[in-house]
Amino acid sequence: MSLIETRAKSLLRKQKKIESWFVSRYGMNLYRGCTHNCAYCDGRAEKYRVQGEYGRDVEVKVNAAQLLKKELDPSRRRIPLKKGFVFVGGGVCDTYQPAEQTYGLTRSALEILADFNFPVHILTKSTLVLRDADLIRKINANTRAMVSFSFSSVDPDISRIFEPGVPAPAERLEAIAYLKSLGIPCGMYLLPVIPHVTDSVEKIERSVETAREAGIDFIVFGGMTLKQGRQEDHFMDVLRRYNPALPEAYRGIYHGCPWGSASSGYFNSIQQIFNRAARRYHMPRRIPLRLFKDWIDENDRVIILLEHMDYLLKTDGKKSPYGFAAYSLSGTKEPLSSMRNSLRRIKGVNVLVEKILLEILDTGTCAEYERLMGE
Ligand code: SF4
């Protein structure tokens, strides 16, 4: 491991619209690079410009705490920050990778977020998050803290090969059980599901069943991207060692899409396996409203509910007007409750969407959303 200390110019990433996968408004990378060195890591792709040898070298933003304090301080801001979750993790690093043991940047960031009363959503693969359990519990008592763990499956042998630097799935599950015992909501990000390695019915069902047994609050599912260049080269080396026949099989799945996406036919097939498993074990496929409703503003709540309905309908092969409407609404500055009589002027808001919007504005939710989430 080689740690390179750097001084960043800014830290907090403000999203143009609320992010409905993580229900976050803001994000941050405290490190760049990750010694967990997962074979499939998307952060390895050239487009993210992580310097050095990925998996070994890590940039450490040693001035992160000063920057964050400055960027959150309302007295230093011309326009106050919107209420919303700060997403800690993901992107080009795991925020609880081994360097955190030395530098404590994540802990400092959480302390600052607690002082400024921001809700947080942490995503990690590391049990080092337990070091901060008391602090996370404090945030959850004052606002909201959620901790999610990512898994490509719960199979320890596969994890050892494809995620060489992270605790075994069973240890992550124990960490979840402990955090849940403290009243902290926990999610599973079942991603990336690795083609021909963790995408079988048995493996996906086992992961969902295990999540149910562990008391996890929701599971978000995702496929694997494979971008040409160093991400693909590294992954294929590991895959070849795992099973020399598999690289050839990948030709039928990845066709050189610039985002590295799998073919839609393949992705839909594994999505259907997941959908059936999630229904069978009654696991919500998106973060449930009860976990975030009090900590985001009215417009963001509407956008998230529409996007979640859109996802749930479309992944079941149904049509949905909600995604486009959510996108249009995200450009609206006024509170939607002040536009009750003019909602139809917004692009994508037809009679059906207007009815749904009014129901959400009146009750905080809508029957269609509750039905889809409860399926
Ligand atoms: S833990 Fe996440 S960021 Fe780190 S190598 Fe694995 S996938 Fe990449």
**Ligand 1: which of 93, 159, 162, 191 to mutate, judged by most atoms within 8 Å of the beta carbon?**
93
pLDDT at 91: 80
Range 232-236 contact pairs with CB under 8 angstroms and sequence separation of 24 or more: 232/260, 234/39, 234/44, 234/54, 234/55, 235/39, 235/40
- pLDDT on residue 78: 84
What pLDDT is stored for residue 49 in this prediction?
92
Please list every protein residue whose CB sits less than 6 Å from any atom of ligand 1: 34, 36-38, 41, 43, 93-94, 125, 166
CA of 93 to the centre of ligand 1 (A): 6
How much is the average pLDDT of 183-205? 98
Neighbours of 5 (CB within 10 A): 10
What confidence tier does 244 reach under pLDDT thresholds 50, 70, 90? very high
pLDDT in tens, 144-182: 999 999 999 999 999 999 999 999 999 999 999 999 999
Does residue 77 have a pLDDT over 90?
Answer: no
- pLDDT tier at 83, thresholds 50, 70, 90: confident
CATH topology of domain 2-291: TIM Barrel (3.20.20)
Ligand 1 centroid to 198 CA: how many Å? 17
In the predicted structure, residue 217 carries a pLDDT above the cut 90: yes
Q: Residue 90: its pLDDT value, please? A: 72
Residues 6 or more apart in contact with residue 135 via CB below 8 angstroms: 107, 110, 111, 114
pLDDT at 199: 97
pLDDT of residue 375: 77
pLDDT of residue 152: 97
Q: Counting atoms of ligand 1 from 1, which one is nearest the CA of 166?
A: 1
The token pair at 274 is 């997941």
Test site for ligand 1: of 96, 125, 193, 238, most ligand atoms within 8 A of the Cβ: 125
Q: What is the mean pLDDT of residues 316-325?
A: 96
- Distance from Cα 114 to the centre of ligand 1, integer Å: 26
How many whole angstroms separate alpha carbon 223 and alpha carbon 226? Answer: 10
**Residue 292 in this model has a pLDDT that exceeds 90:** yes
Report the pLDDT value the prediction gives residue 112, as an integer from 0 to 100: 98
Ligand 1 centre and the CA of 45: distance in Å?
12
- Tokens 């007007």 — which residue? 321
Give the per-residue pLDDT at 203.
Answer: 98
At 72, the pLDDT band (50, 70, 90 cuts) reads very high
- pLDDT score for 79: 84
| Tens-place pLDDT, residues 102-122 | 999 999 999 999 999 999 999
pLDDT digits (tens, 9 = 90+) for 361-373: 999 999 999 999 9
Ligand 1, residues 42, 44, 88, 94: which to mutate, most atoms within 8 A of Cβ? 94
> Whole-number mean pLDDT of the chain?
96
Give the residue extent of every domain in the chain. Answer: 2-291, 297-374
- Mean pLDDT within 336-342: 95
Instruction: Provide the pLDDT for residue 366.
Output: 97
Q: For residues 254-268, give the mean pLDDT.
A: 93
pLDDT-based confidence at residue 256 (cuts at 50, 70, 90): confident
Tell me the CATH number for domain 297-374: 1.10.150.110
Of 176, 159, 174, nearest to 219 by C-alpha is 176
Q: What's this model's pTM, rounded to 2 decimal places?
A: 0.96
Predicted confidence at residue 311, as pLDDT, reads: 98
CB atoms within 10 A of CB 92: 20
